[in-house]
Amino acid sequence: MRLYFFYRLFWLSFSIGLVPSLLIGQDPLFTQYFSNPLTLNPAFSGVNEGVRINAQFRTNWVNWPSPYKTAQISFENYLSVFNSGFGLRLLTDDAGNGVLRTNQIAAVYAYQLRVNKEWFIRFGLEAGVNQVQLNWSKLYFEDQIDPFKGLNPSLSVTDGPPSALSRMELDLGTGLLIFRDNGYVGLSLKHLNRFNQTFFNTSILETGRPMTFSLQSGFDFPVSGRGIGKGPVYLSPMLLYLSNNQSKIIQMGSSYHLGQLITGVWARFGGIQPIESIVGFGFKKGIYKILYTAEIPIDGKGLQRTLGSHEITLSLRFSEAQNYISKKSAQKTMNCFRFNN
């Protein structure tokens, strides 16, 4: 009973911004950001050339009664005639079995310039809509706790629901990407307009969604050896830094591409769990790629309480289709970034 009451009260507090969460400034954080970089930086739109479709599903704290669940899908393409990448992403986040639900839809655009023979620079913009919905009927309060019988949902509560249980606001972002065929450095800012998405008219909560700064970097290093199936063998170390006025998170590590087989080890610092280890494995063939990752708290008690978090991504990379590769080779324009390949 007590755990259930605490769980509901926690989500009410979260919804009005009083309690820190697993999110970076209330944004869902994907471990496999490199599999769908549009979430962090619009300048990545169309960076691989060709059409790319990504679908991701993530569940946090699977041992909790109602774990957080997040899903997103994105589409992107590069049009060389405009030197531009275009994309669309959709996201839904369920926090607490429907207590708090977030839906996002955003259009992204990136313009590409060639600096010299090897280096390119991209400028990205994002404009979308962010909707948050609060299910008041799934919240229980102290007034509904009977000292002898425990939780009694039929008891009335002192405070009523807010005037609106759903809010929808414009959300803007921008980004910069500098890259070559085997490496990149990206910078981005999200929530430029700092929209207000609280449910209660409380002055301390009216500062708006905090802007989030992000730095992304990664490189590919060829490794001698023979991979599984066709494809090169290489290491891909990468770094992610996220910061706003609520929290700071660093994720670093490397994936190892052994032909068609992918493995990886990363570490995350910051957030609810001070240190988390991340392991992943996947497979790619032709236009298809699938990757699974598991986050394991270093603290043994944290793992026992939550059983970690899990994420899976399916990618369709039409730039890897053989007829597309042959066409680009004939045109001698194989200058696109090998990101996420």
What is the set of domains in the chain, with CATH numbers? 2-331 (2.40.160.40)
DSSP 48: T
Q: What is the pLDDT of residue 5?
A: 40
Contacts of 288 (CB under 8 A, 6+ apart): 314, 315, 316, 317
More confident residue, 162 or 122: 122
Confidence of residue 295 (pLDDT cuts 50, 70, 90): confident
More confident residue, 195 or 155: 195
The count of residues in the chain is 341
d(CA 311, CA 279): 11
The percent of residues above 70 in pLDDT, for the chain, comes to 72
DSSP 213: E
d(CA 82, CA 164): 43
pTM of the predicted structure, to 2 decimals: 0.81
Confidence of residue 35 (pLDDT cuts 50, 70, 90): confident
Nearest to 272 by CA among 310, 311, 309: 309
pLDDT in tens, 281-294: 999 988 999 999 99
Which residue is associated with the tokens 């209660």? 200
Q: What is the pLDDT of residue 22?
A: 40
Name beta bridge partners: 247.
none
Q: What is the pLDDT of residue 267?
A: 92
Q: What is the pLDDT of residue 16?
A: 38
